[in-house]
Structure 1
């Protein structure tokens, strides 16, 4: 089994663990959210951006194409979220005025599957570049996947939508991540394509960390230790990148 597929399976397991925790406690685990945000920001700043800039120098209008892809990834995820709001649960700790609608319809399901599939592709594509980048992406997504499971299951429970059929979400999550990792690992693509996808992926990760995880981590809770965990996450990712250099 390709190591990227194994790591994608571990992120799926992390989602399941997050869901289990949501069923056992009301604690929002803000320290873990802070850590996740730090890991993801460190991943983008210390590994993804340097990698894509060094591997592709194409420009459009005097702007690097990889920069355009990163901004495009950020905006694309934002627009998709505005249309389906799949990522933030309705029971969020935000103020009452900061609540999105979640209709549980086809758009939300497709967005969820697409999101975790792209996570898997990101792991596979990262390992195509280097083991260091692959491990860095895996570590960041492992913690983020835990947060996904925590949020999704907690929302279903508190909105009285958690049923035995809902457990199929975990199977869908697993298959989507594995499929994505297989595509990223075995699909014969050029180095340029991998660089452009990783730039797009960097935009996705930046959006999730700054628009969801950090605000949720600091909502209605003391921010000091959450901030410490965020900084710790950045330092840990720095160590991962430095150790693999």
Structure 2
């Protein structure tokens, strides 16, 4: 079940890469909708589940909230370090630019493995939780595939290498999800992990997906897609019984 659901990430990543190579006109609508889905999953499902499951408090603050903030900050720090590295290499060492593109795409692959682990971990909580998290992950895998292909090509790599990195990024969530079939995460640790992943997911939505969706197309349709994505997650979570 977990691996079959993760195959949706595989397909959506490839669709994102195909869009990067061929068409981009409606990309803003997909990204706007994906951002709404991710916000809905974090605020309406991941955080409530994490707070309920992680009973421990640290200096008066629920551990799940601390890990949520830690996840947000970790995603921000990694993105900034990667951006600084790209800038430094691009400005000071032109011969290394293709390698920077591969490095950036490799970071996307690592992120996708973590997405797969999150899907598998969520299914250990329950099918309803697993499906809602999977829906959020699958929706933003379009952007992952798009960015993996674009980053690889933008730094001077051949199309063949870009396709190879896209293929690795598509397989990564399946591998991550399959890995959770071989171990069971303790209930409290699982709740803490969901809190951390919620912070990462919120950062991706707020700092990358939604700004990118509105940057070139500041249209009402993009905003409506974001609202629709959040509302859909509310309905899905409600129908699944929370």
TM-score by length of 1: 0.86
Aligned-pair CA distance for 1:237: 0.4
Residue deviations 1:29-53 (CA, integer Å, cap 9, x gap): 1111110000000000111011111
Change (3 A) 1:167 1:220: closer
- 1: CA distance, partners of 2:185 / 2:150: 39
2:208 to 195, 212, 224: 212
Which residue number corresponds to residue 13 of structure 2?
A: 15
Q: Are residues 1:186 and 2:182 paired?
A: yes
- 2: CA distance, partners of 1:19 / 1:242: 33
- 2: CA distance, partners of 1:27 / 1:109: 23
2:27 to 26, 29, 39: 29
- Between stretches 149-158 and 185-194, larger displacement belongs to 149-158
Aligned-pair CA distance for 1:225: 1.1
Gaps of 5+ in 2: 87-96
Change (3 A) 1:20 1:107: closer
Check conservation: 2:101, 2:157, Cα contact below 8 A.
Answer: no
- 1: CA distance, partners of 2:49 / 2:170: 28
1:70 to 68, 71, 89: 68
- Between stretches 186-195 and 105-114, larger displacement belongs to 105-114
Q: RMSD of the alignment, in Å? A: 2.2
Q: Matched residue of 2:100: which SS? A: coil
- 2: CA distance, partners of 1:227 / 1:165: 35
Higher helix proportion (structure 1 or 2): 2
Aligned-pair CA distance for 1:167: 1.5
Change (3 A) 1:143 1:26: same
Which residue number corresponds to residue 162 of structure 2?
A: 166
Which residue number corresponds to residue 78 of structure 2?
A: 80
Which residue number corresponds to residue 121 of structure 1?
A: 117
Q: Are residues 1:38 and 2:36 paired?
A: yes
Aligned-pair CA distance for 1:152: 2.6
Q: Are residues 1:130 and 2:131 paired?
A: no
- 1: CA distance, partners of 2:103 / 2:151: 17
Moved over 3 A (4+): 154-160
Residue deviations 1:16-38 (CA, integer Å, cap 9, x gap): 01111221124261111110000
Q: Matched residue of 1:189: which SS? A: coil
Count of equivalent residues: 230
Which residue number corresponds to residue 235 of structure 1?
A: 231
Which residue number corresponds to residue 148 of structure 2?
A: 152
Which residue number corresponds to residue 94 of structure 1?
A: none
- Between stretches 199-208 and 160-169, larger displacement belongs to 160-169
